[in-house]
Structure formats: structure tokens, C-alpha cells
């Protein structure tokens, strides 16, 4: 199927076949895998100590989550906004399926000798519905903002300054994501000061990772440019 993207919007034009199709599916799989893992480990909170800079208090889900923004930025650069948004919407439905699967697993009692008994299952996943609801709300809004901002910066700079659209879109959309996920998860549960502190930690950490992955974005874009030329 032909893409309706303007030629200036993406590196690849026309139908997805051969290398273009395989790379698109690989990026989509990386995105969806990181998203699912983020949801499943989000209930664990931990600290990440960067010596001489800051000790971050984070959900474990914040560790793989920045990969989703790198994947969508690469897809936006190579395949355009429409094809990237399709993967973002697919991620929303994958999250719904994960929520359904966790609920289904809770309906049936564990057998005697099961490595994971009912009590452990409930401790790990009892808050999953709220985590995934928060994640889905924040994720969908933030990812759509990220894709739109990416193309806004790309059009504004006439396709120049890769670092600006990569970081300008991700840093701002990660702020939206951090605010939404903390508010949905902890409104009425934690104090305002705690929520503000957690939002700042999440955002600063994810913004730092976004800046650090800029070389990967450049390398990925250059590689696609060579393969698709």
C-alpha cells in the first residue's frame, strides 16, 4: 500500500517491502516490547544514582520506557507520521490486551506447588490495572505529541538539525508523560510535594536519557539513509 506522506516527511516512500518492511516491523516490535515491559515492572520503585549529579527515585518502568521514544523518532524520520501513529495506536491496544491477560490470570487459582502462588500474583499485579490505565493515558497523549512535535521541528528547520527534532520532541513529550502518569497513579494517594518531586525525577531522568541517545538516533538515521538510497 502506498504511503500518503509528503516526500519531505520521510526517507522511505511507497509500499513497505524488502528491507523497508523488515526494519519497520523490527522498530515496531522494539517499541511494543519496551511498552509491555514498562507496564509490567512499573510497580517497583528504585533509585538510580548518577555520581556527582543526582539520585533519581524512579519506577522501574522508567528504565526501558525511553526506548519507545527513540523507536518512534526513528520511525517518524524514516517512515513518516502516519505509519508511526499506526504503531502508537497498536501499542494502546496491546496495553489493553495485557490488562485483560492479567485479569484472566487472576480468575483461576494456582495449583499446589506453583512457582507463583495466588498471594504473590496479587501482590505483584493487584495495582496493574491502575498502572496500565495511567500508562495508557500518558503514553497515548505523549507519543502522539512526540510524533507531532517531531514533524513540527523537522518542517520548521527544513529537514536540518536532527538533534533538535529528536530532543525537542522527546523532552517536551516526556514532561507531559511524567505529569499524566503520576497524577493518574497517585492523585489522592500521595501528597502534592511527593508527586511534584516524583514528576521532576521521572522527567529529568527521561530527558537525560533522551539527550544521551542522540548519537543512536544519528547512527540509525544514517544507516537507514544508506540502505534506502
* pLDDT of 3 higher than 70: no
Cβ–Cβ under 8 Å, residues 171 and 149: no
169 found inside a domain: yes
Range in 123-132, 154-163, 176-185 with the lowest mean pLDDT: 123-132
Q: Which residue has the cell 509500499?
A: 15
Q: Supply the pLDDT for residue 53.
A: 80
**62 in Cβ contact with 202 (< 8 Å):** yes
**Angle value at C-alpha 90, between 32 and 218, nearest 5 degrees:** 50
Q: What is the pLDDT of residues 88-147, one digit of tens each?
A: 889 888 888 888 888 888 889 999 989 989 888 887 776 666 666 777 777 777 777 877
Helix axes 192-212, 66-79, angle to 10 degrees: 50
How many angstroms separate the CA atoms of 66 and 74, rounded?
13
Distance CA 201, CA 56 (A): 6
Torsion sign (Cα): 140, 141, 143, 148:
positive
Q: Quick check: is 92 in a domain? A: yes
| 3-class DSSP state of 58 | strand
Mean pLDDT over each residue of the chain, to the nearest integer = 81
Nearest to 196 by CA among 185, 182, 212: 182
The whole model's pTM is what? 0.78
Examine residue 1 and state whether it is found in any structural domain, yes or no.
no
157 in a structural domain: yes
Asked if pLDDT for residue 2 goes beyond 50, the answer is no
DSSP-derived letter for residue 116 is S
* CA angle, 211 then 194 then 138, to 5°: 55
- Domain range enclosing 41: 7-228
On whether residue 224 sits in a domain, the answer given is: yes
Instruction: Find all residues with CB under 8 Å of 139, minimum gap 6, and list them.
Output: 35, 68, 91, 92, 95, 177
Cell of 123: 501482590
- The reply to whether 2 falls in a domain is no
Residue 59, C-alpha cell as written in the block: 519506577
Alpha-helical segments (H) within the chain: 19-40, 66-79, 81-107, 118-125, 128-156, 162-186, 192-212, 214-228
C-alpha cell at 209: 536519557
- CATH, residue 54: 1.10.1760
> What's the Cα-to-Cα distance from 223 to each of 89, 147, 164, 211, rounded to whole Å?
26, 21, 19, 20
Domain count, the chain: 1
Amino acid at each position: 500500500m502506498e504511503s500518503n506522506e509528503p516526500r519531505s516527511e520521510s526517507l522511505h516512500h511507497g509500499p513497505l517491502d524488502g528491507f523497508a518492511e523488515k526494519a519497520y516491523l523490527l522498530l515496531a516490535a522494539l517499541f511494543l516490547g519496551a511498552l509491555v515491559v514498562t507496564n509490567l515492572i512499573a510497580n517497583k520503585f528504585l533509585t538510580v544514582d548518577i555520581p556527582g549529579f543526582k539520585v533519581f527515585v524512579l519506577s522501574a518502568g522508567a528504565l526501558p520506557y525511553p526506548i519507545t521514544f527513540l523507536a518512534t523518532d526513528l520511525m517518524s524520520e524514516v517512515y513518516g507520521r502516519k505509519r508511526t501513529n499506526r504503531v502508537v495506536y497498536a501499542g494502546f491496544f496491546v496495553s489493553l490486551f495485557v490488562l485483560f491477560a492479567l485479569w484472566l490470570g487472576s480468575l483461576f487459582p494456582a495449583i499446589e506447588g506453583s512457582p507463583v502462588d495466588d498471594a504473590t500474583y496479587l501482590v505483584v499485579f493487584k495495582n496493574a490495572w491502575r498502572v496500565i490505565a495511567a500508562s495508557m493515558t500518558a503514553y497515548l497523549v505523549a507519543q502522539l505529541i512526540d510524533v507531532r512535535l517531531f514533524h513540527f521541528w523537522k518542517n520548521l528547520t527544513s529537514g536540518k538539525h536532527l538533534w533538535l527534532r529528536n530532543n525537542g520532541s522527546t523532552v517536551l513529550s516526556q514532561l507531559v508523560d511524567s505529569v499524566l502518569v503520576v497524577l493518574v497513579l497517585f492523585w489522592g494517594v500521595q501528597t502534592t510535594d511527593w508527586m511534584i518531586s516524583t514528576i521532576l525525577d521521572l522527567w529529568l531522568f527521561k530527558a537525560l536519557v533522551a539527550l544521551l541517545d542522540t548519537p543512536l538516533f544519528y547512527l540509525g538515521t544514517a544507516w537507514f539513509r544508506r540502505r534506502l538510497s
